[in-house]
Amino acid sequence: MANIQKRPNGKWRARYRDHDGKEHARHFDRKIDAQRWLDEVTASVVTGQYVDPRSAKKPFKDYAEEWRARQPHRPSTAKAVAQHLRCYAYPAWEKRALGAIKPGDVQGWVTGLTTTHGLAASTARTVFNTVNAVFRAAVRDRMIPHNPCEEAKLPQVPRKRIVPLSVDQVRQLAATISPRYRGLVLLGAATGLRPGELFGLQLRHIDLLHATVTVEQQIQQTAKHGVYVGPPKTARSYRTVPLPKMAVRILKEHLRDFPVEGPEGWLFTAPQGGPVVYTHFMDSAWRPACPKADIPKGTGPHALRHHYASLLIKNGESVKTVSERLGHTNAAMTLNIYTHLWPDSEERTRAAVDRAYSDGTGSGADQGNAPATEAA
């Protein structure tokens, strides 16, 4: 129900009732302005875009905490999201109403992530993505009509070229690391599995007869050095990867030296038993072994994945195949990371043109007497 009435003071009062029966009213100097406002409200109700003005007054932190509690985040993601909001979003907008945060406010905040907080561009983008998710949900929940994060300009992330480990470095690393993780290093280099996927392997995932390894879970670390067994990173991360002869041999040796009890047994375990905890593995095994293998400081086990990708590319595998083996979301992601590793085509480009002009006249052997024309 909506109507317009002229008030004793000459103003025009437009009012309507929302779905809950709550009355909303505004006063205008002109009747035409009152009618326009009511028309806009009616249109938003009909199209399902109506937003109760009271909803936009909810404090940002209150809504963000409600949103966070509803998300099916993995433990590591939940921890990161909570940190993003607590450290960077709440100090800026803790008590601000959702509807009071404008695009200009967001842009200033994004810029401040790098200039004031000193975050790297990639980290600033990750923090922004968390806040953007909150505002997108607020729009879907009809708390606010528009997302103030839309069209925000984000800091550019400098592209880093991956420098893969050499075969000699991988061999030396496997020779110097704790014997219980020798197989893990070489299997990572031979399959390109993510560290969490390697930690999550159980005996049932290994098929030595058909020389394959199946990825269907991963292990992530939780607070207080616990572990969480969950699904792979993305839907495309579920995959079966072929095992080269080297990997089959290494796995047989590993199972001989470190027997696994039953199909549910962990392929790689912590010294005290149970699944591998990432920080313990890094502190006690990986980092101490890297200097002995001449591997730069700061290099993590993800480098084994890059090494695997570089071997596939060097031996002529297509982008599609490399993407599938790595479990990337799409081939574009693979190219974005490894495009510089594909063989350079400069010589093939030169040869293609030289063949066309191989008669030595510079006019092309197959051009005949066709008249020359200018091209735009």
What pLDDT shows up at residue 251?
97
Tens of pLDDT, residue by residue over 271-316, are 999 999 999 999 999 999 999 999 999 999 999 999 999 999 999 8
From the list 146, 144, 147, the residue with the least C-alpha distance to 56 is: 144
Could you give the CA distance from residue 311 to residue 220 in angstroms, rounded to a whole number? 27
What pLDDT shows up at residue 87?
97
pLDDT over 90 at 14, yes or no: no
What pLDDT shows up at residue 145?
84
Strands 212-215 and 2-6: unpaired
What pLDDT shows up at residue 365?
46
What sign for the dihedral angle of Cα 163, 167, 172, 178?
A: positive
DSSP string, 132-149: HHHHHHHHHTTS-SS-TT
Tens of pLDDT, residue by residue over 106-150, are 999 999 999 999 999 999 999 999 999 999 999 988 888 889 999
The strand order across the sheet containing 239-242 reads: 206-207, 212-215, 239-242
Which amino acid makes up residue 165? L
Q: What is the average pLDDT value for the chain, to the nearest integer?
A: 88
pLDDT over 90 at 86, yes or no: yes
DSSP string, 157-209: PPPPPP-PPPHHHHHHHHHHS-GGGHHHHHHHHHH---HHHHHT-BGGGEETT
Residue 226 and residue 76 in contact, taking contact as beta carbons nearer than 8 Å: no
Backbone angles phi, psi at 68, to 5 degrees: -60, -40
User: What is the percent of the chain with per-residue pLDDT over 90, rounded to a whole number?
Assistant: 65
- Band the pLDDT of 68: cuts 50, 70, 90: very high
* Helical H segments across the chain, by residue range: 31-46, 60-70, 75-84, 90-93, 103-115, 121-140, 167-176, 182-191, 195-199, 245-257, 278-281, 287-289, 302-314, 319-326, 331-338, 346-356
What pLDDT shows up at residue 6?
83
pLDDT over 80 at 3, yes or no: no
- Partners of residue 26 on adjacent β-strands: 14
Lowest mean pLDDT among 97-111, 157-171, 254-268, 332-346: 332-346
Lowest mean pLDDT among 9-13, 57-61, 265-269, 322-326: 9-13
Lowest mean pLDDT among 16-30, 42-56, 106-120, 188-202: 42-56
